[in-house]
């Protein structure tokens, strides 16, 4: 059973089908937090949740759940989904008849200019999901919803305007979370996710973290700072890097971070889902690390390189 941000008709449901397969058994939850809670309680085997959007950036609820003090989870897979928003209404509703609009906060941020221009002064209600907004419109609670077209089909609504996003071509990255387990074998084109916690706040603290990656030729594909929920000014860093924990360069960097950080939370290594191929510098390959270790061992054993 795979949890997703419900109800039916959300982008999260489409992502869950993409990452877990069309025959997967799915169950919807009213929020990202509830879906992750269900996984932690072992009520489901996995949870598919949004992690970042190409327009709005990171999804704070997901980052905070993965970085917080609750029992750790890992990312087992990722998928990228194009995001297209429609303006959905009950049949017969015209633009002039719209006084209230329901949608998800991330969706509202991506259509804000459209709403200000085409529907100025309307009340916008922020709900737990775009499909939840469509469902509420079908129930007569609001006049219109900003949601995917599939939600309109499911809840008997019609599209009054198609693809209303301010920036067209947006993509959202979704991840499949599972209970901690050994990662799948490297594919040669992988991503690793970590959260690092500073030992102390001092000049160059972030540079120390970045240096461990840069010195080993590891490219970062995302870095986000998030408050630790403790004292103001205390932050942790959520990081995606190219490579797999089984790769010598990545393992070496993570071990080095463990030495300089108060804590490092490993959140999984998994195949990249964006279609990009990350070339490896031959000087940072597993073979180069192995040769360097053999060279050092010879010096220690014989004093001769």
How many Cα atoms occupy the beta-carbon half-sphere of 203 within 13 Å? 0
Domain ranges of the chain: 1-83+168-181, 86-161, 183-305
Q: Do domains 1-83+168-181 and 183-305 have the same CATH topology?
A: no
Give the model's pLDDT for residue 107: 93
> Is this structure's pTM higher than 0.95?
no
Strand-strand pairing, 123-126 and 100-103? parallel
Q: Is 68:229 a contact under the CB 8 Å cutoff?
A: yes
**86-161 to CATH, choices 3.40.50.10170, 3.40.190.10, 3.40.1280.10, 3.40.50.300:** 3.40.190.10
pLDDT at 55: 87
For residue 102, the cross-strand partners are 125, 145
Question: What is the CA 187 to chain-centroid distance, rounded?
Answer: 20
Angstrom distance (rounded) from CA 291 to CA 296: 9
Distance, in Å, from the CA atom of 105 to the CA atom of 82, rounded to the nearest integer, reads 17
Residue pLDDT, tens place only, 242-276: 999 999 999 999 999 999 999 999 999 999 999 88
Is the domain defined by 183-305 classed in CATH 3.30.70.260? Answer: yes
Strand residue runs (E) in 163-303:
171-178, 190-198, 220-227, 235-242, 261-271
pLDDT tens figures, 29-64: 999 999 999 999 999 999 999 999 998 889 999 999
Q: Return the pLDDT at 86.
A: 97
CATH number at 1-83+168-181? 3.40.190.10
**Which residues of the chain, if any, have pLDDT below 70?**
none
């Amino acid at each position: 059973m795979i949890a997703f941000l419900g109800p039916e008709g959300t982008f999260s449901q489409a992502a869950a089908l993409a990452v877990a397969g069309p025959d997967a058994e799915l169950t919807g939850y009213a929020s990202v937090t509830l879906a992750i809670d269900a996984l932690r309680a072992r009520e489901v085997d996995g949870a598919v949740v949004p992690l970042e959007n190409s327009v709005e950036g990171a999804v704070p609820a997901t980052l905070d759940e993965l970085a917080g003090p609750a029992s750790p989870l890992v990312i087992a897979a990722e998928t990228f989904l194009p995001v297209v928003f429609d303006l959905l209404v009950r049949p017969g509703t015209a633009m002039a008849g719209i006084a209230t609009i329901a949608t998800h906060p991330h969706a509202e941020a991506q259509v804000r200019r459209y709403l200000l221009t085409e529907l100025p002064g309307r009340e916008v209600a922020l709900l737990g999901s775009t499909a939840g907004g469509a469902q509420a419109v079908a129930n007569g609670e609001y006049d219109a919803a900003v949601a995917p077209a599939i939600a309109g089909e499911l809840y008997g609504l019609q599209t009054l305007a198609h693809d209303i996003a301010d920036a067209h071509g947006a993509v959202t990255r979704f991840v499949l979370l599972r209970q901690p387990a050994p990662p799948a074998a490297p594919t040669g084109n992988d991503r690793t996710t970590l959260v690092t916690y500073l030992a102390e706040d001092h000049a160059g603290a972030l540079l120390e973290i970045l240096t461990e990656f840069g010195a080993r030729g590891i490219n970062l594909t995302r870095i986000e700072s998030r408050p630790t929920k403790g004292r103001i000014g205390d932050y942790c860093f959520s990081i995606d890097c190219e490579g797999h924990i089984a790769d010598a360069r990545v393992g070496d960097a993570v071990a080095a971070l463990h030495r300089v950080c108060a804590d490092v939370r490993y959140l999984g290594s998994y195949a990249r889902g964006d279609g990009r191929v990350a070339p490896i510098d031959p000087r940072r390959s597993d073979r180069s690390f192995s040769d360097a270790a053999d060279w050092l061992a010879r010096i220690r054993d014989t004093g001769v390189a």
